[in-house]
C-alpha cells in the first residue's frame, strides 16, 4: 500500500517534496513535539476553565464525534499518525478512511451499541484541537472581547451552569482558551499543513502519507 502510494509520485516530485520538506526550519519530529506541547497547554487551560465555571461534558456524550462534519488540519493529525505508525497500525487505519464516505464520521469514534450519540474516542490522548476545545473555547468579538462559544448539549442539560459561565466570561472574571490564538500558534509551526481545515478522516489520511514520505527521505 505504502509502495503504491509512493509509486504514484514521480522521481521529479520526490525530489521537490524532499527538498521542500527538509529545507523547512522545523523537521517533522520537531513539529510533532511542538504540537504535543500545545495539546498539553490547551488541556491545562481548558481544565482550569472548566473547574472554575463548573462546566463538563455529560458522561459518554458523543454528540461532537457522531457529527459527520468534524474538521481539522493535517498538522494536528501528525502526532496520531506517528503513534499509529510506531504501533504498526497506520496502514490499517489509512485503509479504513478509504472505506468510509467523505467527509464521514471520524473513524476513531467508538459509539455505544445502538446509540450513535453516546460513545468514546479511540485515540483520546492524541485527538486534535477541535476535539480538546469544543465547548470550552472562546472567540473574540469585533472589540476584542472574549465570548464563550456554547455547546448545544450543555445548553440543554446544564442551562444554569452555562448561563453563569457565559456571564463570567462576559464580565472578564474567567477566560476560556481562544481557538483563534491556538490556531495561530499551530500555523506558525507549518503554514502549509495548517492552511485549511478539512474533514478529520482526510486530514488523518494526509498526515499518514506525510509520515510515509518523511520516512522514505530518512532512509
The residue to which cell 464516505 is assigned: 101
3-state class (DSSP) for residue 139: strand
Among 121, 124, 132, 173, smallest CA distance to 45 is for 132
Question: Which CB sits closer to ligand SF4, 165 or 199?
Answer: 199
Q: Closest separation between CB of residue 201 and ligand SF4, Å? A: 9
Question: Which CB sits closer to ligand SF4, 67 or 175?
Answer: 67
97 neighbors 85 (Cβ within 8 angstroms): no
Q: Closest separation between CB of residue 137 and ligand SF4, Å? A: 14
Q: Closest separation between CB of residue 215 and ligand SF4, Å? A: 23
Question: Which CB sits closer to ligand SF4, 113 or 141?
Answer: 113
68 neighbors 105 (Cβ within 8 angstroms): yes
Q: Closest separation between CB of residue 163 and ligand SF4, Å? A: 26
Site residues for ligand SF4 per CB under 6 A: 65, 70, 106, 108-109, 121, 123, 127, 131, 200
Q: Closest separation between CB of residue 70 and ligand SF4, Å? A: 5
Sequence-ordered list of residues with C-beta below 8 angstroms from that of 85, at least 6 positions apart, any chain: 208, 211, 215
Q: Distance of CA 189 to CAs 51, 80, 208, 218, Å?
A: 30, 17, 18, 21
Q: b/e for 104-116, b at 16 or more Cβ within 10 A?
A: bbbbbbebeeeee
Question: Which CB sits closer to ligand SF4, 169 or 211?
Answer: 211
Question: Which CB sits closer to ligand SF4, 123 or 151?
Answer: 123
Amino acid at each position: 500500500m505504502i509502495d503504491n502510494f509512493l509509486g504514484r509520485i514521480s522521481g521529479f516530485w520526490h525530489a521537490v517534496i524532499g527538498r521542500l520538506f527538509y529545507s523547512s526550519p522545523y523537521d517533522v519530529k520537531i513539529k510533532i513535539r511542538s504540537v504535543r506541547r500545545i495539546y498539553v497547554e490547551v488541556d491545562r487551560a481548558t481544565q482550569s476553565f472548566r473547574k472554575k465555571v463548573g462546566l463538563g461534558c455529560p458522561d459518554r456524550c458523543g454528540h461532537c464525534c457522531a457529527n459527520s462534519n468534524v474538521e481539522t488540519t493535517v498538522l494536528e493529525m501528525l502526532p496520531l499518525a506517528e503513534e499509529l505508525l510506531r504501533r504498526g497500525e497506520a496502514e490499517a487505519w489509512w485503509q479504513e478512511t478509504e472505506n468510509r464516505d467523505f467527509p464521514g464520521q471520524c473513524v476513531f469514534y467508538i459509539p455505544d451499541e445502538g446509540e450513535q450519540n453516546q460513545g468514546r474516542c479511540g485515540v483520546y490522548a492524541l485527538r486534535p484541537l477541535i476535539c480538546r476545545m469544543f465547548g470550552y473555547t472562546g472567540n473574540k468579538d469585533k472589540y476584542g472581547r472574549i465570548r464563550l462559544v456554547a455547546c448545544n448539549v450543555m445548553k440543554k442539560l446544564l442551562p444554569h451552569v452555562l448561563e453563569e459561565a457565559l456571564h463570567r466570561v462576559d464580565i472578564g472574571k474567567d477566560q476560556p482558551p481562544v481557538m483563534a490564538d491556538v490556531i495561530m500558534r499551530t500555523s506558525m509551526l507549518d503554514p502549509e499543513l495548517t492552511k485549511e481545515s478539512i474533514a478529520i478522516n482526510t486530514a488523518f489520511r494526509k498526515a499518514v502519507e506525510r509520515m510515509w514520505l518523511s520516512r522514505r527521505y530518512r532512509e
